[in-house]
Amino acid sequence: MMWETDKPLRGYNTFGIAAKAAYFLPVVDLAGLEYAMREQPAPFFILGGGSNVLFTGDLPAAVLANRIQGIEVLHENEDEVKIAVGAGMRWHDLVTWSVERGYGGLENLSLIPGQVGAAPIQNIGAYGVEVSSAIEAVDAYDLDQGEVLRFPASVCEFGYRTSIFKTTYRNKLFILRVYFRLLRRPVLHMDYGAIREELNKMGVATPDVRGISQAVIRIRQSKLPDPLLIGNAGSFFKNPTVSQDVYDAFLHRHPGIPGFPAEDGRMKIPAAWFIDHLGWKGYRMGDAGVHDRHALVLVNYGDATGQDILQLATAIQGSVYEAFGIRLEPEVNIIG
């Protein structure tokens, strides 16, 4: 077990950005993490699947790559199953495991890239479901105190694409495992996006978690580029939320603008609508571009740098603010 130096990170981020880490160590268990604490050569940076980061330069850091695996069933009865999952496990592998067994709670989150440990940090969500609805607790190693802490869901401060791990404890914790409560009697969520329409295309009259998962996969594959083929990090910006009055004013000026109820009586407007409305979809600036099938996805067509992607994102933000008075906030973590 040794630190690697000057480690290329192009294969460790889904944007395919050619950055380097000063030091790099895969962590497969607590013993590996304790070694890193003893032999720390530089400030830590924690890297999961690299699916939600944009490197804008080399990292003068000691990168800890989370590779902790495993699914353990802790408790089950006729209503639910409680499991503990290694934070370095691929997210979609967990979804597949649960769907194959008919357990409900994660099926709407199918095919989201990244690892299990990133799920609570970002409070990942899709098609009307957020992962916080299935999380019971999170175990994490405090890098300052050198001890394992447990965070019940009630103290995680889950919000739209955020949590206490992204704010108060940003880059201070190494997530070890996540505890989930899955349902043997699933409650299906089919009213967000085109899930019902896709189920009809599939000829599924009586959907279950398998059908929902397959519908979500088909929808995502039809709209989103495969990071193995075109570098990207999925949705680059968060969907903005506005007051009902502001949304009504938008609706008056732009009949048909989509909106979905959010917390506190506010409305969530798809960021893609603003970007698409201003003609950015399919735009290309060298090897940095906006995907031609989904305006919310910025892509690296080959050799774009992180600065190239950031420059494009900043131009889009300025354009949307000038036209609509809306400040788009990145969902992707910009590092550098």
Active site members: 161, 235, 331
Instruction: Check residue 39 and report its DSSP letter.
Output: T
Phi, psi of 188 (to 5 degrees): -85, 140
CA distance 333 to 336: 10
CA distance 310 to 319: 14
The token duo for 197 is 């329409």
Cα of 185 vs its chain's centroid, Å: 26
* Residue 309 contacts residue 299 (beta carbons within 8 Å): no
* Residue 231 contacts residue 16 (beta carbons within 8 Å): yes
CA distance 288 to 303: 8
The token duo for 236 is 């680059």
Number of CB atoms found within 10 A of residue 326's CB: 17
The three-class DSSP label of residue 122 is: helix
CA distance 190 to 188: 6
The token duo for 287 is 């090897």
